[in-house]
Structure 1
Amino acid sequence: MAHDPAEADFAEIARHFSHLWQALNKSADKPNSPETRQILVDRVRDALDRGEARLSDTDPKIVANSFLLEALIHEGAFTQIYRARHRDLGTLHAIKLPRPEHADDPVVRKLMLREADIGMALRHSHIATTQTVLRLADGRPALVMEWIGSRLADLLQQRALSPGEVTAIMTSVLFGLQAIHAAGFVHCDLSPLNLLSADGDFSRLKIADFGVALEVGYRHGQFDLAFAGRPDLASPEQMAGEPLDGRSDLYAAGLLLSLLLQHCKERDEGLEALALRLSERAPQDRPQNAKAALHLLGGPAKRPVQA
């Protein structure tokens, strides 16, 4: 019978593991406490991680010794977003971090930490939750956020929408904007890429990505940014670099509604009229706030329960 090198290697590893396990538990009459054993197990796990990283030709995919980066789901000019799994809990998360070549970029670092501050200040059922901030070994900040399965941009490529679904999407968006504006912020980057849905449930749509959000009354130029956002959805005042308030997000919501209606199976004159009203070029011609826009949409009068 041919000798299998892998079997021999496994047998040797098994012998060493047996010795390791005995060392972790000490003797039967004087075993380690559960706390001490857990500390030793964690240190062994750390040593295995470091050893695996040395054997790999690629960058290690373990963050803070707790999160396994499973897949790169979005890559921008300055940042990356990964789907990550907590190694002990098995829970999924989204982790956003600067690209490696921007590890020392002070503007990117400043914006990431501002995004974390804003995200941690917002808790609402229609806002994606920022859970914590980590610092990588090379000093980069990493934002840990709740994982929500699908982007609206992807869902729009799969099928047409009904007027009821368009209304559900806009209701979720406007409730989310109402909470953002009440906290004193402007999102500044509303788009189908930043609207997330679990299992295509539009009634639970959540607004994500506060990377270019501002405090009400601020301009992006105050943060060394000539322009931030998406030109095809940005308000005229945002394009001009002026101080912003919640009506700038309502302009983007109007253009978003127009886009949704292009994917709609049926015409809805009421929704078309609302899209035009929200996207008036002059801020004073738009609804005063998200609550007023919800009233025009015919949405529920009460805000949903906060997360």
Structure 2
Amino acid sequence: MTDSRPGDLFQPGDLVNNTYRVEAILGRGGTSDVYKARSEISGRIAALKVLKAEFSDNDDFLLLLTREEAMREIRHDAVVRYAETNRTPDGHVYLLIDYVDGPGLDKKLKEGPMSAEDLLVICRRVAEGLQAAHSRGIFHRDLSPDNIILRDGDPAQAVIIDFGIAKDTNPGAETIVGNEFAGKYAYAAPEQLAGNTDARTDIYSLGALLLANFRGKSPNIGNNPMEVLQKKAEPLDTEGVPEPLKSLLDKMTDPEPDNRFDSASAVLAALNGDAGATTPEPAEEPDALSDATVIAPAIGKRAEETKAPAPAPKAEPKAKKAPKPDAKPKNASESKSNKAIIPIAIGGVLVVGLAGAFMSGVFTSAPPLPVADPYRLSIAKAKDSVPRAVGFVPSEDVAEALRQQIQGQNGTSDLTLATGDIAENWGQDVLSVVDAVDEMDAWRVSISGNVVEIEGETTSKPIFREVQAAFDAGALGALSGEPDLSLNEIIIAPERIEAILTAFADCGPLTLVDAPLGGYGPGSTVEIAGNVATSASRDTLFDALSSAVGERTVRVRTTVLNPTLCLIESVMPKAPTSAIDVAFYQGDQNNQPNPTGEFIVGENPVIDVEIPAEVTDGYLSVSVLDVSGNVFHLLPNINRLDNSVEGLRDGQDGDLSIRVAYSIAEAQSNGGLAFRVDDSTLGKTKILVIHSSEPLFNEMRPTSESALSYSEALIAEDRNVASRIYSLDSRILETSSR
């Protein structure tokens, strides 16, 4: 998940269309950003893909979202589900997408090589999703590791996301971004560089990304377009890849499209033949069951009541057998034929669809338990909600104990008896973990095999300490994991936040805006003002504050300067602002006003200092502090010695504009200073105007000097200590390449 930044369109806590409460930002793209949000009505977690403000009125980019919305016609749990496109009252357009919780293959790529076994599982799953999309004439065109998410980290639950540049090949359909190249060079098929796409394009990309994740590094595609073309014409290097993955990748990534598998169905057929798999061809749109339905016997269900036993597995499972369940369920209402386990959102905690259980042996009156691999159990309680348990348990005794524990808080459970590769005391350890956390305000326990993820939060310090003590005393038993517990204090004193501001201030003091005397309660907004040296330091400050204040909203209203300006800020004399102002003009455009103060490379900034009528005495010192670390003294300087207000006025009363930086044409005639923007000093430049009773320095400063020497002069003896500083005013001039 990506860290929020002050410049993001939505911040955590914002309510979109009176329905979706933003919780975090998931990622940023060139035209849109994706946020995690929860419906205030249903509690369902969703992803909001929001078109950036500058594209909200652009028909081409609106078409991108509306065509992406059309992906909702694809009904397969390996393809992310799209809902609808909406517009907020202030004009921001967003697409509602199902939220998939888990790491992307791009994250797995950074962690290192993946096993061939896991990649074969992912290949099958993604090929099934592509089969569903291709059957509707829709090709992804941008398959890459960042566009495949492993739901809950499970390779068997891989989900294809981001069909934003998908191409619909149905007659009369429009292409989202035209016929030009779409995708990423590292994973694009050779013919895709020429704008040619079909099913084989996606098959190549899938093979390339699987190879990248096996290697643990992205493909080498060269350093220039010619090298890219040359490398794309060559077969990918699969040396060292074990069979059957190697032969599969060789066929999927052949540079010649005609030599590849011609469809996702062909890939699945090869998997069934090469890998010995028995997964049947998936149906496009099942009628009676949801996309993530898993058929497994309910707790206590008699084998003879099931309609169709699954075929026995080819190899004897290594899983540990659990005790047999009772012949009859304790509560007949809990036993349902063909129990369907579907993915649900529990108050903000996404509970993943559970993997299928495979029957083995011949059905008798006392059948063996099905094998669950992976062996998963998810139990969660959202804030101000009831707990819910879904997954596998090894015995009826464990199921009943867990059910009673959940029902004690009016919760619900959907548990399936199964055997698996779990510890001998697995059930008791799970009960101990749930017992340890169940008094917290919100918690989640997610188990896969013997590995457990635990999250919990509370506003009670005694409960927090009690839960910590339980885990310190060994509540995990044979399970492995590190509990992630948080204490959200009801009231946070401003002094605690001010200590963080002091620690992270790198460009002058940071201040709390309208800090409440009684402290920050739940739902409060913590707002910060001041300057920071870099965007990175602002983001770091935001992260530190967010971690400290919990669910409270953080707004960092800071100005990003640069190290030069921050150095000067730290040594500037303390003085109030005044009515003295700075105005900008375009010297290369007949001195037309530039109220924004923004200039691009090649332009000629003109600077005036505007003196109000009431300022009639004293001295003005005007300097330019640029991003490269230089200081230019516009007034006084060797060509303009008199900086007294009286001399500048020269007998004129009222408001007065004094030009301190000229157009190039003016400078050629009067010898004044003039500037032209070049690409060596892009960024924020500060114009500084100091009004003092006496000249600021004892001696004339050079026209140009370093920021360091200017800072030393401000604090050293050559500063005129007899000078009283009346005011200090400034304005930012920003330069960019376009």
Give TM-score scaled by structure 1 length: 0.73
- C-alpha displacement of 1:267: 4.1
User: What does residue range 30-179 of structure 1 map to in structure 2 within 5 Å?
Assistant: 61-117=14-70, 119-150=71-102, 151-158=104-111, 160-179=113-132
- Structure 1 residues 221, 175: closer, same or farther in 2, change over 3 A? closer
Matching residue of 1:185: 138
Deviations 1:108-131 (A, max 9, x none): 1111111111x2111102111112
Q: CA RMSD in A?
A: 2.5
The more displaced of 286-295 and 297-306 is: 297-306
Structure 1 letter corresponding to 2:89:
A
Structure 2 letter corresponding to 1:229:
G
Matching residue of 1:234: 188
Distance in 2 between the 1:222 and 1:70 partners?
Answer: 29
- Structure 1 residues 221, 59: closer, same or farther in 2, change over 3 A? closer
Select 2:155's aligned residue among 175, 195, 202.
202
Distance in 2 between the 1:210 and 1:256 partners?
Answer: 17
Distance in 2 between the 1:220 and 1:280 partners?
Answer: 29
The more displaced of 255-264 and 230-239 is: 255-264
User: What does residue range 242-257 of structure 1 map to in structure 2 within 5 Å?
Assistant: 242=196, 244-257=197-210
Structure 1 letter corresponding to 2:28:
E
Contact 1:103 1:138 in 2 (8 A): no
Structure 2 letter corresponding to 1:70:
E
Distance in 2 between the 1:108 and 1:164 partners?
Answer: 40
Q: What secondary structure is seen at the aligned counterpart in 2 of 1:157?
A: helix
Tell me if 1:270 matches 2:244: yes
Distance in 1 between the 2:255 and 2:241 partners?
Answer: 24
Structure 2 letter corresponding to 1:232:
A
Matching residue of 1:4: none
- C-alpha displacement of 1:149: 1.2
- C-alpha displacement of 1:225: 6.3
- C-alpha displacement of 1:164: 1.6
- C-alpha displacement of 1:222: 7.8
Distance in 2 between the 1:300 and 1:213 partners?
Answer: 30
Q: What secondary structure is seen at the aligned counterpart in 2 of 1:134?
A: strand
- Structure 1 residues 125, 103: closer, same or farther in 2, change over 3 A? same
Distance in 1 between the 2:179 and 2:66 partners?
Answer: 15
Q: What secondary structure is seen at the aligned counterpart in 2 of 1:199?
A: helix
Matching residue of 1:41: none
| Residue ranges of structure 2 left out of the alignment (5+ in a row) | 1-8, 218-239, 292-738
Matching residue of 1:46: none
Distance in 2 between the 1:178 and 1:59 partners?
Answer: 36
Contact 1:152 1:197 in 2 (8 A): yes
- C-alpha displacement of 1:200: 0.8
Structure 2 letter corresponding to 1:169:
I
| Residue ranges of structure 1 left out of the alignment (5+ in a row) | 1-57
Contact 1:153 1:193 in 2 (8 A): yes
Contact 2:180 2:194 in 1 (8 A): no
Tell me if 1:293 matches 2:245: no
Higher strand share: 2
- Structure 1 residues 81, 138: closer, same or farther in 2, change over 3 A? same
Contact 2:166 2:176 in 1 (8 A): no
Distance in 2 between the 1:163 and 1:237 partners?
Answer: 27
Q: What secondary structure is seen at the aligned counterpart in 2 of 1:257?
A: helix
Structure 2 letter corresponding to 1:274:
L
- C-alpha displacement of 1:220: 9.0
- C-alpha displacement of 1:285: 0.6
- Structure 1 residues 217, 286: closer, same or farther in 2, change over 3 A? farther
- Structure 1 residues 222, 211: closer, same or farther in 2, change over 3 A? closer
Structure 2 letter corresponding to 1:259:
A
Contact 2:25 2:34 in 1 (8 A): yes
Q: What secondary structure is seen at the aligned counterpart in 2 of 1:269?
A: coil
Select 1:302's aligned residue among 280, 288, 299.
280
Structure 1 letter corresponding to 2:281:
R
Matching residue of 2:366: none
Distance in 1 between the 2:241 and 2:126 partners?
Answer: 21
Matching residue of 1:279: 253
- C-alpha displacement of 1:105: 2.0
Q: What secondary structure is seen at the aligned counterpart in 2 of 1:70?
A: strand
Distance in 1 between the 2:158 and 2:21 partners?
Answer: 26
Structure 2 letter corresponding to 1:94:
A
- C-alpha displacement of 1:207: 0.7
Distance in 1 between the 2:216 and 2:279 partners?
Answer: 27
Distance in 2 between the 1:257 and 1:136 partners?
Answer: 39
- Structure 1 residues 222, 192: closer, same or farther in 2, change over 3 A? closer
- Structure 1 residues 160, 213: closer, same or farther in 2, change over 3 A? same
Higher relative contact order by CA 8 Å / sep ≥ 6: 1 or 2? 1
Structure 2 letter corresponding to 1:146:
D
Distance in 1 between the 2:241 and 2:256 partners?
Answer: 26
- Structure 1 residues 143, 192: closer, same or farther in 2, change over 3 A? same
Matching residue of 1:12: none
Distance in 1 between the 2:187 and 2:112 partners?
Answer: 22
Q: What secondary structure is seen at the aligned counterpart in 2 of 1:248?
A: helix
Structure number with bigger Rg: 2
- C-alpha displacement of 1:139: 3.5
Higher helix share: 1
Distance in 1 between the 2:170 and 2:138 partners?
Answer: 9
User: Aligned residues: percent identity?
Assistant: 30
Structure 2 letter corresponding to 1:152:
L
Distance in 2 between the 1:78 and 1:250 partners?
Answer: 26
Contact 2:139 2:199 in 1 (8 A): yes
Q: What secondary structure is seen at the aligned counterpart in 2 of 1:188?
A: coil
- Structure 1 residues 179, 221: closer, same or farther in 2, change over 3 A? closer
- C-alpha displacement of 1:89: 2.3
- Structure 1 residues 155, 203: closer, same or farther in 2, change over 3 A? same
Distance in 2 between the 1:248 and 1:203 partners?
Answer: 23
- Structure 1 residues 159, 255: closer, same or farther in 2, change over 3 A? closer
- C-alpha displacement of 1:291: 1.1
Distance in 2 between the 1:222 and 1:130 partners?
Answer: 16
Distance in 2 between the 1:203 and 1:262 partners?
Answer: 20
Deviations 1:52-82 (A, max 9, x none): xxxxxx8672211100122111111111101
Q: What secondary structure is seen at the aligned counterpart in 1 of 2:38?
A: strand
Distance in 1 between the 2:176 and 2:108 partners?
Answer: 35
- C-alpha displacement of 1:154: 1.7
Contact 2:168 2:175 in 1 (8 A): no
- Structure 1 residues 256, 220: closer, same or farther in 2, change over 3 A? farther
